[in-house]
Amino acid sequence: MIEPHATKVLVIGYVWPEPRSSAASGHVMQILEVLLQQGWDITFSSPAGFGEQRADLTAMGIHEVPIELNNSSFDAFISELAPDIVLFDQFMMEEQFGWRVEKHCPDALRVLESCDLQSLRHGRHQRLKVRLKGSEDNNDFSDLFAQAAREEFEYMADTDLAKREIASFYRCDLTLMVSEVEIELLVEQFRIARNLLHWCPLMVDLPTGAPAAYEDRAHFLHIGNFRHAPNWDAVLWLKTAIWPLVREQLPGAQLHIYGAYTPPKATALHNPAQGFHVMNWAEDALQVMSSARVCMAPLRFGAGIKGKIVDAMLCGTPNVTTPVGAEAMHGDEAWPGAVTCSAREFANQAVQLHNDKTRWLDAQTHAHTLLARRYQKSVHGPALIQRLVECQRDLANIRRDNFTGSMLRHHQHKSTQYMAQWIEVKNRTHTT
């Protein structure tokens, strides 16, 4: 057994975590908390600037060390730190720093945290764009949501993004996946060995108190970071198609839309006369979710699993979403609300949940059951630690058996190394 104090972890973040702004950052924070509970020594580094709502990692006992892209100062930093595990947050960080990690800390376990399969999300976005241009009926997306895994693969396979992303998965010793659907896509279609993947969904503690009562709640709610393209598209679909249908049935209905980094194009949609309120960023997302009667998540594309829906379940707030929103989130469990494919049905289901207390309470019960069976940190946290320890013990065999990854590292890292060194020299010359 590896002693907890002996394990040193370096996390290389695409951004500094902002758990109140995005589910991706929330998942990173959950992983950090699990590692801290194990007593491991954690350093978090990122080449990104500090965001408005970044978490105070130092207060948690995590060391913060900013790093630079294409700069050999990272080599000295990681050599001195000598981590046992390096966790890359999103594949772009593995592309940038993976070769340096391998060169200076070859025995460190290299782990990739994939908040979602980005090439899948991108492929679905492109299909939606084609669908919106090529069909007169832009409110029923049953055909779009019915894509088989092979069709998803065929749409992704020729894209540069998929080749970069999947190559990064191969180069790492282990990749953390939030979605079982994406694991099956990678294994069955991209032929990635299953032992290189680990299911690690959003991890939460079950609520201990009773949620706010039906009678104490009001209005509909949508929440999501506006920098995330699926959320902006959902707001547009709400505005143009779904919300007018809700107001036909509930003329006094109010929809509150919250999101970090609200752009002018979003605030321009604010229209109190239509009950359509763009509220900007929520100081406490769980508080506003607990006050709402129904959460609306009309996602027409996307990947991974949805933090806003987990938050809704934590608050006992029934939700209406699409097959994309519900994907990989409930297994065989009943959905805590409704899953629909068209604007008309979405509006009908939202109104029914809003008005029918019995159905609303049933959905709330389903939410509690679903959280308990699929998202408990007390289950997934120890499973993650166990998997990391097992991979450390068996690292030589994992790398020997993953010849494709070894081959990709040999070729890609050489080219990345030379490009990074050229950029560094160019930057040094420019500054002098």
Half-sphere exposure of 71 (CA within 13 A, CB side): 11
Structural domain spans, the chain: 4-203+378-431, 214-375
Fold of 4-203+378-431: Rossmann fold (3.40.50)
The torsion defined by the Cα of 394, 396, 401 and 405, in degrees rounded to 10, comes to: 110
Identical fold at 4-203+378-431 and 214-375?
yes
For residue 369, the surrounding DSSP H or E stretch is helix 357-374
In whole angstroms, give the CA distance from residue 218 to residue 39: 43
Give the angle subtended at the CA of 297 by the CAs of 318 and 114, to the nearest 5°: 110
Q: What is the token pair recorded at 77? A: 């930093």
CATH architecture of 214-375: 3-Layer(aba) Sandwich (3.40)
H helices present in 111-209, as ranges: 118-134, 142-145, 149-156, 160-171, 180-188
Q: What is the token pair recorded at 61? A: 């006992």
Q: Name the residue with tokens 């070729």.
A: 411
Digit-coded pLDDT (tens) for 118-176? 999 999 999 999 999 987 777 899 999 999 999 999 999 999 999 999 999 999 999 99
In whole angstroms, give the CA distance from residue 283 to residue 417: 42
In whole angstroms, give the CA distance from residue 388 to residue 111: 9
Q: Rg of the chain's alpha carbons, rounded to an integer? A: 22
Positions of the chain with pLDDT lower than 70, given as ranges: 1-6, 413-432
Q: What is the token pair recorded at 4? A: 């907890």
**pTM recorded for the entire structure:** 0.93
